[in-house]
Amino acid sequence: MPIDALTDDTDLYEAGMTSHASVTVMLAIEDTFDIEFPERLLRKATFSSVAAIRDAVTQLTTAAPA
């Protein structure tokens, strides 16, 4: 699927993303935002679309410190 055809809600796995690629995306996001994905978010649905990834990052960056 051409990148310009992707929307925030496009299923990235249907567009060709592999599980290996999703780990690479996760690691890049953790480095960029200085966050760590907790175990509860380590699931396919978290990385299934740009919108899902954005929602997870928003959750992690706006959460009150523990």
**pLDDT tens, residue by residue, 12-24:** 999 999 999 999 9
Coil, helix or strand at residue 35: coil
Please tell me the distance from the alpha carbon of residue 45 to that of residue 9, in angstroms, as a whole number: 12
**Tokens at residue 19, please?**
């599980």
Please tell me the distance from the alpha carbon of residue 41 to that of residue 15, in angstroms, as a whole number: 21
What value does the mean pLDDT take over residues 30-59? 96
In this prediction the pTM is 0.87
Cβ-Cβ contacts under 8 Å for 11 (sequence gap 6 or more): 48, 49
Would you say residue 64 has pLDDT above 90?
A: no
Q: What domains are there in the chain, each with its CATH number?
A: 7-62 (1.10.1200.10)
